[in-house]
Structure 1
Amino acid sequence: MRHIALPKIGTAVAWRDAARALLGERVPPSDVIWGGDDTPPELFANAPAAPPDRSDITVPRSFVALANSVVWHSDPQRFARLYALLWRVQSAPWLMSDRGDAEVAKLRSLEKGVHRCQHKMKAFVRFREIGDPAAPRRSFAAWFEPTHHTVEPTAQFFCRRFGDMDWRILTPDVSAHFEKGVLRLEDGADAPDLPDDAHEELWVTYFRNIFNPARLKVAAMQSEMPKKYWKNMPEAVAIPELIATAPARARAMAEAAPTLPPAHAASAQAMQMRNVSEWTGSACAMRDALEGCTRCDLHKGATQAVPGSGPVDADLMIVGEQPGDQEDLAGRPFVGPAGQLFDQAAAHAGLTREALYLTNAVKHFKFTARGKRRIHQRPTRSEIDRCAWWLNAEIKQVAPKLIVAMGATAALATTGSGQAIMNRRGKIEDGLHGGKVLITLHPAYILRAQPAEVAQQAMRDFQADLALARRIISGDAVSPSESPAISG
């Protein structure tokens, strides 16, 4: 029978060396008794010999990480449990990922307990100054009572966090001393008589002011801040009063809170905020920024982003849905079949492309691949909303007298609604940007319309809408029969 005694300080290294030696000699877990350095030495005289050279011994990395935590737990069986698992994983390394294994589950629970104790130590250690505040290196001390043996593995956190001062953390088990940048671990100590801290009153005042009575859950608070730590935390003196007065304070906060706007108002505000652009740069800079846009996933499949085209002081802005296959390749809007049809209708209405600012509600081509062809797909509401940031920036820069929204997507992006386009076409509505929007058909609809009579009528309606837009921005008189209805 092998008897192994491990020291209180340096436990992780000592257990690792002992386990390696035992494993090298093929000593089974049933032949090993583990203990700490507080066990009577005469019972633990047979330490393992130096490990033989066994190149076939392998240890999974996950086990190393587990052992480096579990050795600091207070469970007296932790060393034996770790060695038993180490013995098993030599022939079954997959056990480390077996959540159904009872022994692995137990050790994972111990590991979690150690991590939780380390977190509590980082959160609840309270230092008090014990040296001269004017000294080159100020000196502090704290008393803490950890649940497990976590001073040694947690000390490096305090070395990094408080490297510019001397400090000591005293516990009943092991104490950490940090002086002039050097860490020293010693045996535990009795609770010291630490001086009062002049800053504690200010700290308690701060704690009172950040306490939110409306969010108080006593059970959850005591789970995260167990009572065993309260006696060493200066802010704990305020906790009973804060708990007792929380209900009354929460009611007072609710009564003093402002009333909420109606649901439809909140919805309208949210819609408007989605379209608010913070762009303040030039048109050229916006083109460069648009090229790198990743606000939605459409950039992943498209060849490039297609910005608007035309004079930035145009009186009339034309907004379509999105670039098509040819626009995606050329990097310019309205150069495909729909764009050619638009040019014909615009010329018939007395408009020239050179005087218009043409753009799309969505700047990347959305499609589905069918062999070598790329078939257009309508953008989703989310994609339209995300790209509205760029459309709104263009509207701010151009500041047109009138926007012509061609089709449902453009209408949705500019007015907030993409419904009932046939009933709305030829009418002027209030835009989300604060200006006016004339609703009309999209040229692609005309190209697909069947039979020919429907397509011809749609073309005449489209031409009439563009002619109306020209007369509005020109200030020409509009006869009562063709005066657009204005909806707000």
Structure 2
Amino acid sequence: MRVATLAHEIDFDGWRVAARALRLEGVEPAQASFRVGGSAEQGGLFDQAETLAPGTRASPAGPIEQNFTVSKTFVDLAQQVILHRSADRFDLMYRLLWRLRDEPDLMKVTSDIDVVDALDRAKNVSRASHKMKAFVRFREIEDADGPNAIAWFEPAHRVLEKTAPFFVRRFQNMRWSILTPDGSCSWDLKTLTFGPPATADQAPQEDEVEEFWKTYYASTFNPARLKTKTMQGEMPKRYWKNLPEAALIPEMIAAAKGRSETMVATPASAPNPRTERIVAQFDRETGPQDRLPVDLNELAAGVQGCRRCPLWRDATQGVCGQGPRNARLMIVGEQPGDQEDLAGKPFVGPAGRVLDDALIEAGIERSDVYVTNAVKHFKHEPQGKRRLHKTPNAGEVTACRWWLTSERDLIRPRAVLMLGATASLAVLDRKVAVTRERGQALALDDGSAGLITVHPSYLLRLPDPVLRAQQREAFVADLRRVRTLL
């Protein structure tokens, strides 16, 4: 048995060096073991083993090459898994490393038992990091240098070093320390440092802000929307003892039913007169829009003057659909992008080019298709000189559905292809799980056929070229399928 001794529980660099040496020597997973710490008598990196010359195996199978590389995907996964508290995490990653030489695409086999195990542990580590961001509660003390915020936290996995940079970004102008059973970290406004493990009694138990926080938390509690299992799933009980607001939860749960009944029995308050005046003015500015436009030109003019939702304020212009009046196929996207907003035409940006190429491959002429969007104005947020896309919310989709319905009434297509969840919500008036309903022929209320697929921008966002190629083939297959509905 070859035993590699690591410096500490999250010694990824030490594991990496040891695992690589063992793999190059040909030490099989059953004969390799990793442990943390150890006595000075162990005599180096490996127990019970002689040092082998380069280019030889520990097994009789003969020499192997000195160079052995693995994908970045594996390295990133190993860095996550090693933060897991399971005792066999090092052995699991070595088994994967052992197999990767002969199975270079192993990490893509998501049904493999070792890959599934590693991915599940990495997911648990990511979840523990997320919970740490959500449930760390600082309490302020005064020391020789002024205010200092200190928090005690018990993460499910060893994620302190992984998560600490988040708190640096979040609280750059505040001195703080986070104490955990695995270690501690401190920020002094300039440098992030890590220290030894701590105990709960080293952290302050309360501060003067705590009562204000409890009052705020209690005031945001809505008894009518209480879902205890969901709440405990998002805020597991293991974290409650370190959350000041957790002391209020049992009482609020117990009183929820009575408070809900009181809310239901209370008569509705009178409308605010000022709000009613604003709504009336809004309706006058919007103008009558209960009459179906006689043609697409009138519809386009109406969109330019639409004030049904606030999106018109930040957009360059409204972007109506484009295509022949008698198109048999209507394609509905989400909303105009940056280039569409400037050009006033749908699908002329990067996603539009992906759609054009896929239509050609599927045997569909773009000039025969009416292409439009669920929402007619570009929703975005500025970031420097760029305008970054923001997904329209349900209220904005509902406000704009009148224009989409008018387009469908004027075009009367035989089939409607919905690109993504927002387009599906606009056409079907219900939330849709795209992956579950994708490619299925649906009967729409106007007698036409509907089909759901992904938005072309989804293909652009996929970093893995192999997955991107697979998803593009599936997208083209959906276009061919919708062609059969015509």
Q: Given the two structures, how large is their TM-score scaled by the length of structure 2?
A: 0.54
Measure, in 2, the Cα distance between the counterparts of 1:26 and 1:32. Answer: 10
Instruction: Give the secondary structure class of the aligned counterpart of 2:8.
Output: coil
Q: 1:11 to 1:199 in 2, by over 3 A?
A: same
Residue identity in the other structure for 1:161: R
1:279 Cα offset (Å): 3.8
Quick one: distance in 1 between partners of 2:172 and 2:52? 38
Matched, 1:117 2:128: yes
Gaps of 5+ in 2: 56-64, 270-286, 293-298, 328-343, 347-358, 378-402, 411-486
Q: Structure 2: which amino acid aligns with 1:3?
A: V
Task: Classify the secondary structure of the residue corresponding to 2:91.
Answer: helix
Separation of aligned partners in 2, 1:417 and 1:3: 73
Aligned position for 1:28: 28
Matching residue's letter, 2:176: W
Is 1:160 aligned to 2:169, yes or no?
Answer: yes
Determine the structure 2 residue equivalent to 1:131: 142
Which of 233, 239, 255 is matched with 1:223 structurally? 233
Deviation at 1:7, TM superposition (A): 2.5
With over 3 angstroms needed to count, the CA separation of the structure-2 counterparts of 1:250 and 1:70, relative to structure 1, is: same
How big is each residue's C-alpha offset from its partner over 1:99-142, in whole Å with a ceiling of 9 and x where there is no partner? Answer: 22111111111111111111111111111112259x5x742111
Q: How does 1:336-375 map to 2 (within 5 A)?
A: none
Distance 1:41-1:83 versus aligned 2 partners, 3 A rule: farther
Where do residues 163-202 of structure 1 align in structure 2 (5 Å cutoff)?
163-191=172-200, 192-202=202-212
Change (3 A) 1:50 1:113: farther
CA change 1:216–1:272 in 2 (3 A) is farther
Paired with 1:154 and 1:246, the residues of 2 have a C-alpha distance of 35
Alignment partner of 2:110 out of 84, 99, 120: 99
**Aligned letter for 2:23?**
L
Instruction: State the match for 1:14 in structure 2.
Output: 14
**1:8 alignment partner AA:** H
Matched, 1:203 2:213: yes
In 2: Cα distance, 1:255 partner to 1:273 partner: 39
Query: Aligned-pair distance for 1:245?
Result: 1.1
| Separation (CA, whole Å) in 2 of partners of 1:270 and 1:110 | 57
Unaligned stretches of 5+ residues in structure 1: 260-268, 303-320, 324-361, 388-409, 419-488
Q: CA deviation at 1:85?
A: 0.5
> Which range is displaced more, 75-84 or 150-159?
150-159
Residue 64 of structure 1, aligned match among 50, 65, 75: 75
Contact 2:7/2:36 (8 A) holds in 1? yes
Structure 2 residue aligned with 1:234, among 244, 247, 257?
A: 244
CA contact (8 A) 1:168 1:177 kept: yes
Structure 2 CA distance for partners of 1:203 and 1:85, relative to 1, 3 Å: same
Aligned with 2:149 (options 140, 146, 158): 140
- Contact kept, 8 Å, 1:22 with 1:51, in 2: the verdict is no
Q: Kindly provide the amino acid, as one letter, of the partner of residue 11 in structure 1.
A: D
CA offset digits 1:279-314 (Å, max 9, x no partner): 499xxxx9xx99x75444x2xx68xxxxxxxxxxxx
Q: Report the 3-state secondary structure (helix = DSSP H, G, I; strand = E; otherwise coil) of the residue aligned with 1:131.
A: strand
Q: How far is the alpha carbon of 1:27 from its aligned partner?
A: 2.5
Aligned CA-pair RMSD: 4.5
| Structure having the higher Rg | 1
TM alignment of 1:230-269, pairs within 5 A: 230-256=240-266
Q: Distance in 2 between matches of 1:417 and 1:166?
A: 62
